[in-house]
Amino acid sequence: MTESQLTVRPATPEDVAALVRRAHHEAITVVSGGHGPWSRDASDGVRIELTELAEIRVDGTTVHIGGGATWGAVAAALSEKGLAISSGDTSTVGVGGLTLGGGVGWMVRAWGLAVDQLIGAQVVTASGEIVETSATENADLFWALRGGGGNFGIVTRFDFEAHPIEGIVYGEYAIGGDAAAVVRAARDVMRTAPRELTVTYMDVPAMDPSAPAGARLAAVWASADVEALKATLAPIAAFEGVSETVTTPAYRDILLEMPVPEAGDEAPGPPGFIGGNGLYAELDDELIDRLVAFRAKYPASVVFLRSLGGAYGDVSQEETAFPARSATWFVMAGGFDIPGLVDEDARAAILADWRQIESGRLAEYGNFADTERPDAVPGMFTPAAHDRLRTVKSKWDPQNLFRRNHNIAP
């Protein structure tokens, strides 16, 4: 197993434990949904795909989910029972990767992060043991799993507390006028908006398959109250050049479908990305102006914002490993590094403009950091949390077997 990567798909937690015991000190790549930056890597070591561990079992409002399940399957299963869990935005994203990194989704203001709904987990440790974790059992490991990434073991089962939901309202506001003014208005609305409302702002080029080209605000209201959403976002709909579309889909139907590349796929991947993301205390006018100017300056660029606060901010900073609970907005911006279109001077200019945007962030969100940058890992946590995570790592994985991630060294 030292000259090429061995790919295995265990059927039980016991199979996973046996694989870990046989791996010795070889690198282990763990794949749930396959969207992570390491999922296409075919380098040395053992690649454990958790696809077979995808059972979804509902017991009242408690939901037991296998580490290889995807959020689309979870949303569909829970929809039949009038339940939902705040997850990401994409149906094919794995429950494991998103949850361990925090999990910012459409219900983040109503219900918090994915990890805020996690009440327990079954974990295969670096020694090949299968252990249960919760707030009262192996509590140090449970704390680290909620935002510390895949550094501490392989989670074969997640236990969540789901939320009853009768329906949602989804609003889209296509922006044909002054984008900066609309973003300022959205910022002002969200300062006092009920926590049922979460919004995103996107401005993407035609080449981006994740959303229609151009600038638009999207909103989800965590109930079936159409008039409540429309009334709260009336200041947005009133702008000249803004068109409003409001629908009442099932929660499962607003999750995007995105293709998942196979391991070792030789087909050309997406272009490189020059930029990054951050969690910000405030979306002030200067930051808004920089983001709108960035998108206008670079045709092959993207800007994405999501409102935070509400239930996200109710959780104390010390309760989980996730950083920046005081943040009120998530921001991502960057340019696509397209061969033949972007030269060295353009790369340097994009990076310099991103550095200005980045300078005000509280922390980086690891789930949106798609390259391996060991020096950046401390910036994904508070200093106190990073120190505590290293202590937990030293206890549960002193040999750093689980290092194919945003690695926290023991």
pLDDT recorded at residue 45: 80
**Per-residue model confidence as pLDDT tens for the chain (410 residues):** 334 568 899 999 999 999 999 987 788 889 986 666 555 555 678 889 999 999 999 999 999 999 999 999 999 999 999 999 999 898 999 999 999 999 999 999 999 999 999 999 999 999 999 999 999 999 999 999 999 999 999 999 999 999 999 999 999 999 999 999 999 999 999 999 999 999 999 999 986 556 678 999 999 999 999 999 999 999 999 999 999 999 999 999 999 876 555 555 444 455 789 999 999 999 999 999 999 999 999 999 999 999 999 999 999 999 999 999 999 999 999 999 988 889 999 999 999 999 999 999 999 999 998 777 889 999 999 999 999 999 999 999 999 999 989 999 99
pLDDT recorded at residue 37: 58
pLDDT recorded at residue 339: 86
* CATH hierarchy code of domain 169-368: 3.40.462.20
Residues 6+ apart with CB under 8 A from 35: 90, 92, 93, 94, 97, 258, 260
62 close to 161: Cβ distance less than 8 angstroms: yes
For CA atoms 365, 258, 180, 105, the dihedral sign is negative
